[in-house]
Structure 1
Amino acid sequence: MSEQKLEVFNVLNFLNSGYELDDILKQGNFGTFPSAEDCISYLVENGYLAGEGGNVTAESISKKYTVAQLKELLKENGLKVSGKKQELVERILPVLSENSGDYELTDKAKEFIEENSWIDLYMFALVAFRFEDYETYVKTSSEDDVKTALNFCDEIISRALMANQFLVFIDALSAKAHVYAYDRDYESFLDYDLQRYILGLNPIVMDAQTYATYDIINEANIINLRNVLAKFDFGSLKKRFDKIWAKSHVTNITVPKKTSYKILQKAISGADLDELNFDLKEKYFNKKFGI
């Protein structure tokens, strides 16, 4: 049910933002619905969508409209109104077929979007974590959407540190950065993405299984840093890097601070990340982790 709730919210929220239904359904992944058509049927039957929709046929038009109604529709569209009912049906069919995708959000749909606005933030920042877990957390929170999401990330970070789950910890740092981005606090977004970079190069803990598939420099992390630095002027990157390094309490150093910063500059400038990752493993990680 939770997964279906997520899918329903996404469709309704995109519609509410001005997207066309056909475009939304082409992009969608309807895990709990056999098809996009089943999703539409569900939304209509449950009172979330209203209006003319679906495949319009001559038979469906004939059943739905009287002769008088058909003539009125034809008149509104500048078409001839003479003839038998079947002729009127055939004449109006192209018009109704063209408008067959016109659905409108009902008041129920708008209330659903407003009541579940937290899902939009989940989709933006927290998809690394189970929707059901976050939904349960939201129900117990009295804070606003952003504060709730930040608290959730902090709890994940705390539990991950206690359990030595480094990848969960690093995902939670990234998620927290994106919560700030959602709230348009791009300076905090930069700070947490820098921390994610620093601790990515200096893992608190790392086992052989994790290391086997671990990218020391995360591509998405570098893209985020590159984009925010290109868009905003937050002063000296070196000074900010030094501040975040100190804040991160890096005690288990794998890649020295000076080297970490130089590599960051290279990555942001467009250096090949695969090559940088290879060099880091060869020079620092393989020896330290006994691989």
Structure 2
Amino acid sequence: MVKFNCIVREDNIGKTISVDGMVDAVDIEETLKTRYAYLYQSMLDTGYKVKVNHCTYFKEIVFKKKVVGFCAYTIINSVSKLSLVSTYILPEFRKRGLFFDEINHTYEEGNEISIFDPPSFVMKLLIKYGFAKDIGNNLIVSSIMLDVPSTSITDIYGSDSVEYSDFTYSTNVYDYNLCGSVIIVDEEKEIVYISKSSDKDNERYDCLEKRANIDDEYYVNIIKHVQNNKQIIDKFINNIEQSYASFNEDYSDKPDFEDFKKLNQEQSERELSDYFNKIDETKNSLYDPSSIDKEKYILAFQNVGIYDFIRTFEENNNIELTNSIIKIDYDFKPDYIKNLVLNEGYISNESSSEEVDEYLNSLKVNDLKNILKDNHLTVTGNKSELVDRIKEYVPSSSVLDKEYSISDKGLEFIESHEDIEFYNLFLKNFYYYEFKDFLNCHDGSITEVSKEFLKEHLYSSVKKKDNKAYTDSINALAFINELNNDLTEGLYFELKKFIIGLNPLFLDESSYNYYQPISKTNIDNINLLLFKGDFNLKEEFKKAWDSMEINNFMVSYSKSFKTLDEMLSGEDRDYMNDKIRELYLTKKTIHDKLDKSKQSTLDKYLTFN
């Protein structure tokens, strides 16, 4: 238990201390002494020292309304980028992902961040949470830049002195053997700097002795290893950057589906619809949303999220990186899918009782007492009693530092939901709930049933005058046929897509402001299919034209075919789009129809063959 009273924030939001945003105007030690005496005392007790005593922003770390730590940021080299110069969390509240949450939240707010002269424990946390990667040869590459002041550089190779004094260098390479950041100043001249290791790292890992024994070859090998792994490094950093590129959104209104399931059955349909509309508005449905079985929908949507979480984890083996990616792709509240996957045991770092028994019995009494102390349990009794107490009160994941892995239950889930792989590839713009029901009610292969499902959407979209649903259905049908090497059907749907692009009779007036009749992807696909197959383009175009679900066209058959022929011959797409818009999409007759917003004046353009 915590032996002191933490500051409480009833709104569970940490405060930020700054002096009008002035650079390095906050005295960290003085702030801790006067406002957070319990944090300061804990730092003294654990031997933690701040490397830099001034910061621009001092942020509280809050857990369950208690202020349990802090992060201090400054601004380096007059660039508007936050550099984390110090962070501390009370020992009682570690191993709860609070450091990850802070970094993650700072990214989500759209800030660029770096870390100032980090010790090895910070680099281990970055690896744990997916922000850094071990690339071998004692080297770590970090997606978060590491800031190293020239005063912290102690080991220099290839030069007599540091090139710039009173300057802060940036790097993303760290040597965990020497516990220092690596700055490759000049690859050709083979100039390398390494920052000094912290006192704690020197004490634990004998860094000073290791540094005294390294030779020139050690530095040269660092340069070669970084050069040889440049592709891996670039790919890793790009993946992280892409994961956070769209992370500037507010999650506060996103539904928590456990809350949804707990809604009382007697609540009004209006309340349920409010929850439902937050989720459903972007996908195409065959039905009126009010008629959908919402409980079945929620379970189906969850299953897609679980499946994608397990598959993504399978690729990167990092639970927090997977969580970050999934939070971008799904409109769940943060951590919902991660918690669901872990709680259901699809991915686990738990050890078997036999593994725990074997490990605990191999430890000495003092080691067992240390485990109990770390978990705030009594340390009295003989070895057998200590082992029993740990087994009863300490989670196995805290006893054995076991990596997360997909469990047998997780593998069974993947095997029983393979249709989600197909759904993700072709049908993301449609509801998995409807697709699953359609699949269960129709015989045939998943490919054939999916085509029928999309044709249903095609006919439904014409009745509803829904251009998005129509084009999404055409796109998916073309894609399925092309990947299954059915070139004829693929070309048929690509041509239909081209025709409806020139004749967008289902769009409302506001959409014309940005509408592009001709798609580059569509033209590229038609070109590729014509190259692969032996087709008479005129015959195939006529077949697609005659099968269109509309019977009056803004752009005639001959002009549509001529436009296609010009595009396939390399005509400029922007020029053609402007030309089509000028000739056909600004006529008063079209706008007269559109002013009535897709109403009965469009009916004469529709037919069902």
The corresponding residue for 2:306 is 8
The corresponding residue for 1:152 is 453
| Corresponding letter in the other structure for 2:557 | K
State the shift of 1:122 in Å.
2.0
CA deviation vs aligned residue, 1:200-220 (integer Å, no higher than 9, x gap): 213455543454443222344
The corresponding residue for 1:47 is 345
Does the C-alpha gap of structure 1 residues 237 and 20 become closer, same or farther in structure 2, counting only changes over 3 Å? farther
The corresponding residue for 2:477 is 176
State the shift of 1:276 in Å.
1.9
2:583 corresponds to 1:283: yes
Q: For the residues of structure 2 that align with 1:196 and 1:261, how far apart are their CA atoms?
A: 13
2:519 corresponds to 1:218: yes
CA deviation vs aligned residue, 1:68-102 (integer Å, no higher than 9, x gap): 2x7xxxxxxxxxxx9x748xx9xxxxxx87x73x5
| Corresponding letter in the other structure for 1:237 | L
Does the C-alpha gap of structure 1 residues 268 and 112 become closer, same or farther in structure 2, counting only changes over 3 Å? farther
The corresponding residue for 1:92 is none
TM-score, normalisation: structure 1? 0.70
2:551 corresponds to 1:251: yes
| Corresponding letter in the other structure for 2:546 | A
- Which structure is richer in relative contact order (CA contacts within 8 A, separation 6 or more)? 1
The corresponding residue for 2:422 is 121
Q: For the residues of structure 1 that align with 2:591 and 2:551, how far apart are their CA atoms?
A: 19
Aligned length: 257
Higher helix share: 1
Does the C-alpha gap of structure 1 residues 132 and 209 become closer, same or farther in structure 2, counting only changes over 3 Å? farther
Contact 1:173 1:196 in 2 (8 A): yes
Q: For the residues of structure 1 that align with 2:358 and 2:571, how far apart are their CA atoms?
A: 64
State the shift of 1:151 in Å.
1.6
| Corresponding letter in the other structure for 2:342 | V
CA deviation vs aligned residue, 1:261-285 (integer Å, no higher than 9, x gap): 3433444566543332211011123
**1:1-291 mapped onto 2 (5 Å cutoff):** 1=298, 2-14=300-312, 19-22=315-318, 24-28=322-326, 29=328, 30-35=330-335, 39-51=337-349, 65-66=359-360, 68=362, 85=367, 100=403, 102-106=404-408, 108-203=409-504, 205-229=506-530, 232-248=532-548, 251-268=551-568, 271-287=571-587, 288-290=589-591
Contact 2:310 2:406 in 1 (8 A): no
Contact 2:555 2:584 in 1 (8 A): yes
Contact 1:166 1:203 in 2 (8 A): yes
Contact 2:518 2:573 in 1 (8 A): yes
TM-score, normalisation: structure 2? 0.37
| Corresponding letter in the other structure for 2:540 | R
Q: For the residues of structure 1 that align with 2:524 and 2:359, how far apart are their CA atoms?
A: 56
State the shift of 1:14 in Å.
4.4
| Corresponding letter in the other structure for 2:405 | Y
Q: For the residues of structure 2 that align with 1:267 and 1:225, how far apart are their CA atoms?
A: 10
Gaps of 5+ in 2: 1-297, 372-399, 593-609
Does the C-alpha gap of structure 1 residues 196 and 152 become closer, same or farther in structure 2, counting only changes over 3 Å? same
Q: Secondary structure, in 3 states, of the residue corresponding to 1:176? A: helix
Q: For the residues of structure 2 that align with 1:194 and 1:283, how far apart are their CA atoms?
A: 21
Greater Cα radius of gyration, structure 1 or 2: 2
Q: For the residues of structure 2 that align with 1:20 and 1:184, how far apart are their CA atoms?
A: 31
State the shift of 1:46 in Å.
1.0
State the shift of 1:161 in Å.
1.9
Q: For the residues of structure 1 that align with 2:331 and 2:316, how far apart are their CA atoms?
A: 21
